[in-house]
């Protein structure tokens, strides 16, 4: 599972914003059966309903209403808002767009500011010179301010700031900027003049339809990115736009390419950690390259018989194949001691006297703290990858059992859902560690660490049961088509508990 959250180029899917997109995204089924893939987006499909049928709290803190729009649908949404603002402000649509971009398409704010001081609104949006700026008095000179050539009067063009330049210089200036990828934001050529050029002014200067089409795509990109309710799908070459009522750091999924991301930052979904914190965490992980050797080992020695053990599953509850000793992969402690005190393994014990020690000691303590959280973050990342393999094996075993008349697909669906829910819970747990790392000490952190530990304990219990169910060579069959319900009931009950712990943590600490 990749956790790379580096920003993608904002015009990466520019070639898809064209007339070729006549479809409305109805080809979603061409990619085959997505359930056969152990992708993270699958973990959220159908699992919640299955758990809620077991009597779980129906409140889902991750519930978020959004709509996936095609390129043409997005254009219609933008055009409706532009026409409304243009009529209210009594300006042309091209000017209305600059005002909308300036205030991130907040219609009520635009109206309020227009009623309060229309001139100030237009100057702040850089579509008219401010009353305090130095105005240029139109002269009778026919000399271009850039190339200094004397030209015909009708060849001189100017914005409302009255800085006049010949059409040839305007054309060259706009052509260069558009080829560099600029849409909204092309300003006057005069030095220290930041007045914005409306799109109709730029379009009249661009040579050739190809360049004009590229400029329109850049404008569309900038309009969507400036809109507080819209986000471009970050999927490769995907032209879809996600629309919401209230912008929040919530999970959204593109209906066309199935890309899953956080609406607010357009990066990989990261609840309960907020966007700024997770970006800071991943930057730190990338910079602290000296930790690579520390977390690279995949093997540890059994704390009882010292035999070398390789972790080949996602569960952190380990059992030595030689001496059968049960221990924790993270702290190597006896698994029996984890019970209700499991949080001792996931909670970092701060040194209260560290502020009074030397800078070297404080630096060592800072690295020790970082390594503690990073090792657990990385461990759950690896567990997700291993459990994705378990998920795939379960799919194959279910198919084999159905083919051998050992129950129907419905009979074995609970194993399928258990593996998906396990990944869903562990994915949330992984992102609790950056949250805890940057969280200040206090009552709130103690509560968070307690809930984090409770979730971790239940996830490991669920992982243990899922892996044991996966390793079972043959199910217990009471009669033809009748399966023993004890193991199934136990697993479904554990699913319910784990999901409840996950929801409780997100409800209390998810970014609101």
Q: Residues with catalytic annotation? A: 315
d(CA 151, CA 145) in angstroms, rounded, equals 11
Coil, helix or strand at residue 242: strand
Q: Is the dihedral of CA 260, 264, 268, 272 positive or negative?
A: negative
Contact 393, 470 (CB under 8 A): yes
Token pair, residue 60, equals 């889902």
Contact 429, 452 (CB under 8 A): yes
**Tokens 């050529």 label which residue?**
189
**Tokens 């040579």 label which residue?**
207
d(CA 123, CA 161) in angstroms, rounded, equals 11
Q: Would you tell me how many other CB atoms lie within 10 Å of the CB of residue 398?
A: 19
Count CA within 13 A, CB hemisphere, residue 410.
Answer: 2
Coil, helix or strand at residue 72: helix
d(CA 208, CA 206) in angstroms, rounded, equals 6
Q: Which of 212, 209, 191, 192 is nearest to 201 (CA)?
A: 212
Element (H, E) at 411: helix 409-430
d(CA 468, CA 397) in angstroms, rounded, equals 13
Token pair, residue 43, equals 């973990």
- Find all residues with CB under 8 Å of 113, minimum gap 6, and list them: 103, 120, 121
Q: Would you tell me how many other CB atoms lie within 10 Å of the CB of residue 236?
A: 10
d(CA 137, CA 495) in angstroms, rounded, equals 75
- Find all residues with CB under 8 Å of 95, minimum gap 6, and list them: 86, 89, 127, 198
Token pair, residue 256, equals 């066309």
- Rg (C-alpha) for the chain, rounded Å, is 30
d(CA 429, CA 380) in angstroms, rounded, equals 8
Contacts 24+ apart (CB under 8 A), 315-322: 315/383, 315/460, 315/463, 315/464, 315/466, 315/467, 316/379, 316/383, 316/460, 316/463, 317/460, 317/461, 317/463, 317/464
């Amino acid at each position: 599972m990749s956790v790379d959250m580096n920003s993608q180029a904002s015009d990466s899917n520019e070639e898809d914003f064209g007339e070729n997109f006549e479809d409305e995204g109805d080809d979603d089924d061409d990619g085959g059966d997505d359930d056969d893939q152990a992708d993270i987006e699958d973990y959220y499909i159908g699992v919640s309903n299955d758990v809620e049928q077991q009597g779980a709290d129906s409140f889902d803190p991750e519930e978020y209403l959004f709509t996936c729009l095609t390129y043409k649908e997005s254009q219609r949404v933008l055009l409706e808002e532009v026409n409304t603002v243009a009529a209210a402000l009594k300006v042309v649509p091209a000017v209305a767009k600059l005002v909308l971009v300036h205030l991130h398409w907040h219609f009520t704010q635009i109206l309020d500011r227009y009623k309060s001081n229309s001139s100030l609104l237009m100057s702040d949006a850089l579509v008219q010179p401010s009353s305090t700026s130095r105005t240029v008095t139109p002269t009778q000179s026919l000399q271009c301010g850039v190339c200094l050539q004397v030209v015909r009067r009708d060849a001189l063009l100017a914005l409302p700031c009255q800085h006049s330049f010949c059409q040839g210089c305007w054309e060259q200036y706009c052509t260069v900027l558009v080829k560099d990828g600029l849409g909204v934001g092309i300003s006057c050529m005069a030095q220290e003049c930041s007045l914005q050029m409306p799109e109709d002014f730029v379009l009249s200067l661009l040579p050739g339809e190809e360049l004009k089409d590229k400029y329109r795509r850049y404008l569309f990109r900038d309009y969507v990115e400036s809109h507080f309710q819209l986000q471009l799908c970050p999927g490769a070459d995907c032209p879809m736009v996600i629309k919401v009522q209230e912008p929040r750091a919530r999970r959204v999924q593109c209906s066309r390419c199935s890309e899953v991301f956080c609406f607010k930052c357009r990066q990989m979904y990261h609840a309960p950690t907020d966007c700024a914190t997770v970006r800071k965490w991943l930057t730190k992980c990338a910079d602290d390259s000296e930790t690579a050797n520390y977390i690279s080992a995949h093997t540890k020695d059994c704390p009882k018989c010292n035999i070398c053990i390789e972790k080949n599953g996602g569960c952190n509850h380990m059992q030595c194949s030689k001496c059968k000793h049960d221990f924790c992969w993270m702290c190597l402690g006896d698994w029996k001691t984890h019970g209700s005190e499991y949080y001792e393994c996931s909670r970092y014990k701060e040194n209260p006297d560290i502020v009074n020690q030397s800078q070297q000691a404080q630096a060592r303590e800072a690295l020790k703290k970082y390594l503690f959280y990073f090792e657990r973050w990385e461990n759950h990342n690896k567990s997700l990858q291993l459990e994705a393999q378990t998920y795939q094996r379960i799919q194959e075993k279910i198919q084999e059992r159905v083919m051998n008349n050992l129950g129907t697909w419905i009979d074995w669906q609970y194993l399928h859902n258990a593996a998906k829910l396990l990944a869903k819970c562990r994915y949330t747990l992984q992102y609790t560690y950056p949250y805890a790392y940057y969280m200040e000490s206090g009552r709130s952190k103690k509560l968070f660490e307690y809930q984090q530990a409770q979730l971790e304990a239940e996830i490991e219990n669920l992982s243990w049961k899922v892996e044991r169910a996966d390793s079972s060579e043959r199910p217990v069959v009471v009669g033809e088509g009748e399966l023993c319900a004890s193991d199934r009931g136990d697993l479904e009950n554990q699913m319910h508990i784990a999901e409840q712990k996950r929801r409780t943590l997100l409800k209390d600490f998810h970014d609101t």
